[in-house]
Structure 1
Amino acid sequence: MNKPCIICVAITGSVPTKADNPAVPITVSEQIESTQEAYEAGATIAHCHVRNEDETPTSDPDRFAALKGGIEKHCPGMIVQLSTGGRSGAGRARGGMLPLQPDMASLSVGSNNFPTRVYENPPDLVDWLAAEMVAHDVKPEIEAFDLSHIFRAAEMHQNGKIKDRPYVQFVMGVKNAMPADRAVFDFYVHTVKRLFGEDAPWCAAGIGANQIVLNDWAISNGGHARTGLEDNVRLDRNTLAPSNAALVRRTAQICDKYERPVATWQEARRILGLRHVS
C-alpha cells in the first residue's frame, strides 16, 4: 500500500496543562514553535486550540489569528485547522474565528457524553457553524464521537449544509463516549465508504493510551492519523512525551511499518481538496 498518509498533530487542546506534561504548549509562541517541530517531523495538519495565560481554554479570535499567522509563516503549506469545540466557548462564540478563513475547522455534528459532562452540540448551533464554514470557504472535519454523527454528516451533505464530501475523523477512547473497539472501528470505515464512496478519505484519533492503537488501525486500513499532546501526553505508561514532534515521529514509524509514505503538505491538500498555496 503506497497511499500517502496525512498526519494531523493536535498540538494543545483544551484540557492538558503543564502540570500534566511541561511540553504542552500554552502560549501562542510556544504553540508556533511546537507546531514547527511537528511540521518538520512530518505533520501536515495542525489542529489548533488557544488558551488564556492561566491555561484555561478560550475561543478568542485574536489569539487564533496570531497562531494561524505564525503557523503560516513558519510552516509553509501546512494545513491550519481551527477548533470550534465546546470546551473553549459557548454558543456562536465557538465559531468566532471562522472569518479568519483557516483551511479547515473541526465540526462536531451531534452531542455525546464526556468524562464529567455532556458535550452539547444542538442542531441549530451545528447548522450555524456549518453555514459559517460554507460562507468563509472553510472545509469542516467531522469529529465523529458516535455512529450517528457519520449519518448526520451525510444528511447535512445531501442537504447542502456541508459543501464538499465530508472528511470524517473517528474519535475513540473518550471516557463515557465510544471506546476503542475494533469491531466498531471497522464498521465506521465500512459506513464512511458506503455513504461517501470507496475512495473517501477519513481519519482516526485515539485518546490517551489508545492513541497509538488508533494510529495503527487507521494507517493499516488506508486512513489518515491524528496524534499530539492534546490527546495523549505520554509515549508509554512511564514516559512523558517530550514534544508533539516525538509523537509525530512515532506515527511516521507506523507509516513505515505499513509501507505508506507520509503525505507532504502538497499531497495532503490534494487528498482533501483544499486550495493550493504557493
Structure 2
Amino acid sequence: MPKTIITCAITGAVHTPTMSDALPINPEMIAEQAIAAAKAGAAILHLHARHPETGAPTVDPEHFSEFLPAIRAETDAVINISTGGNPVMTVEERIPAARHYSPEMCSLNMGSINFALHPMADRYKSWKQDWEKDYLKGSEDNIFRNTFTDIRMVAEALGGPEHRVKFEHECYDVGHLYNLKFCLDRGMFKAPIFLQFVMGILGGIAADIDNLVFMKRTADKLFGDAYQWSVIGAGAQQMRMAAVGAQMGGHVRVGLEDSLYISRGELATSNAQQVEKVRGILETQGNQIASPDEARAILGLKGSNEVNF
C-alpha cells in the first residue's frame, strides 16, 4: 500500500477564539503549532491567517508574512495556502496571498454551499472578541460562493506556468466531484488531481462511512486511477473518518481548523496532539506515514525551492 500523507489544517476560518485557548489566533501561535505539527508527522500544512490583534480570519498577504518564513526555516513540510478565506469573501479577496507567495499547494473549493456555522453560537454566553457572535450567527444566511467562474479564476491565477500550484480540490458533496470532472474536461486542470473529501460541515455531506464509500466510488467512476484523495471528518468524526479513509487507500487531514477536540468532550491542546493521535492510529493499523518529500513525489509537486517565501 502506498504511504499515507497526513495534512494538518492549523487554524482555518470556522472556529473563533472563545471556543478554545489552543486555537492559533496570532502569528506566533500559528508558526509554533505548524512547526510542532510537522515534527509530529504532518507532511502538509494547510494554512489560513488570523488578524494578529483580534484573531479574526484574514487574507492579507502581510499577515501571512508574519509566520510563513518561520515555518519554512524550521520544517520541510509542504505549505498549502488556503484560497477559501472565509465564507463571506469573494474569490478576488481570497487569492492575493496565494498569488503573492506561490506555494506548492493551494486549496480550491469545487462548488457553492450553505456553509453554516450559526448553531455553534448557541453554545457560548460570553465572547473574547466582539466580532465572534455576529460572524457565527450571520452564517445562517451565508452562501459560500464558488461558481464555475470563480473556480476558473483561481485555476487561471494559480495553476498556470507562472505558479504551477497543485490544488487540494475540496469537495463538500458529491456534486462537487461532477463540477471538477466538468472543469477537468474543459482543460482547467490536469490529471492526476488531488481530492479532499470534506465531510461533516452543515450544508455539505455528512461524515459517515456510507457517504465516504459513495464519494470514493463516484471519484473512481469519474477519474479512474488519475487521482489521489484524502478525507476530512469535521467535528466528532475526525479520527474515525481518518482511520477508515486510510484503510481504503486515502490520505488524511486533521487539525484545529476541522475539529477542536482530541476525544469526545475533551479539547485538544494543540494541532500536534491531533497529528500524534492520528499517526498512532494509522501506524497501528499498518499504514506507513509519508515524509514531506514522499508527499511531493506522490502528488507531483513543484518543490519547495520554487515558492516565494
Q: TM-score range by the shorter chain?
A: over 0.9
In terms of mean alpha carbon deviation, does 82-91 or 252-261 score higher?
Answer: 82-91
Q: Which residue is 2:201 aligned to? A: 174
Aligned residues: 276
Letter of the 1:172 partner, please give it: M
Matched with 1:83 is 82
Q: Which residue of 2 aligns with 1:262?
A: 289
- For structure 2, the 5+ residue unaligned runs are 117-139
Residue by residue, what CA displacement relative to the aligned partner does 1:146-196 show, whole Å, maximum 9, x if unpaired? 111111112212221113422110011112321113222112112222322
- Residue of structure 2 in register with 1:25 after alignment: 24
Matched, 1:228 2:255: yes
Cα deviation, residue 277, structure 1? 4.1
In the alignment, the residues of structure 1 paired with residue 217 and residue 69 of structure 2 have an alpha-carbon distance, to the nearest angstrom, of 38
Distance 1:134 1:177 in 2: 26
Counterpart-to-counterpart distance in 1, 2:300 and 2:254: 22
User: Does residue 114 of structure 1 match 2:139?
Assistant: no
Q: Give runs of aligned pairs for residues 86-101 of structure 1, distance below 5 A.
A: 86-87=85-86, 89-99=89-99, 100-101=101-102
In structure 2, what residue type is equivalent to 1:92? E
Q: TM-score, normalised by structure 1?
A: 0.94
Deviation at 1:20, TM superposition (A): 1.1
Report the equivalent of 1:104. Answer: 105
Q: Which residue of 1 aligns with 2:36?
A: 37
Q: Structure 1 regions of 5+ residues with no counterpart?
A: none
CA distance in structure 2 between the partners assigned to 1:40 and 1:183 by the alignment: 33
Q: Within 2, Cα distance between the matches of 1:171 and 1:144?
A: 6
Q: State the distance in 2 between where 1:199 and 1:94 align.
A: 28
Q: Secondary structure at the match of 1:66?
A: coil
TM, length-normalised to structure 2:
0.85
Higher Rg: 2
C-alpha separation in 1, matches of 2:70 and 2:173? 34
Once the two structures are superposed, residues 176-228 of structure 1 have per-residue CA deviations (whole angstroms, 9 ceiling, x without a partner) of: 32111322211211222232233631000011101112111211111000000
Map Cα deviations across residues 58-116 of structure 1 (whole Å, 9 max, x no partner): 1111222333322211112x110011115173231111112211111110121111222
- Contact map agreement 2:192 2:226 (CA 8 A) in 1: no
Which residue of the partner structure matches residue 252 of structure 1?
279
Matched, 1:130 2:155: yes
Hey, what's the Cα distance between the residues in 2 that align with 1:197 and 1:123? 23
Cα separation, 2, equivalents of 1:154 and 1:74: 38
SS in 1 for 2:225: coil
Separation in structure 1 between the aligned mates of residue 252 and residue 91 of structure 2, nearest angstrom = 29
Alpha-carbon distance in structure 1 between the residues aligned to 2:6 and 2:191? 21
Asked whether the 8 Å contact 2:172–2:205 carries over to 1, the reply is yes
* 2-structure distance, mates of 1:153, 1:209: 28
1:144 touches 1:169 (CA, 8 Å); kept in 2? yes
Corresponding position of 1:272 = 299
**3-state DSSP class of the match of 2:169?**
strand
Query: Match for 1:138: what amino acid?
Result: V
Q: 1:219 aligns with which of 246, 268, 272?
A: 246
Structure 1 residues 148, 44: closer, same or farther in 2, change over 3 A?
A: same
Residue 199 to residue 124, structure 1, CA distance change in 2 (3 Å): closer
* 158-167 or 47-56, which deviates more: 158-167
Shift of 1:276: 3.4
Equivalent residues in 2 for 1:147-186, closer than 5 Å: 147-186=174-213
Conservation of the 8 A alpha-carbon contact between 2:59 and 2:85: no
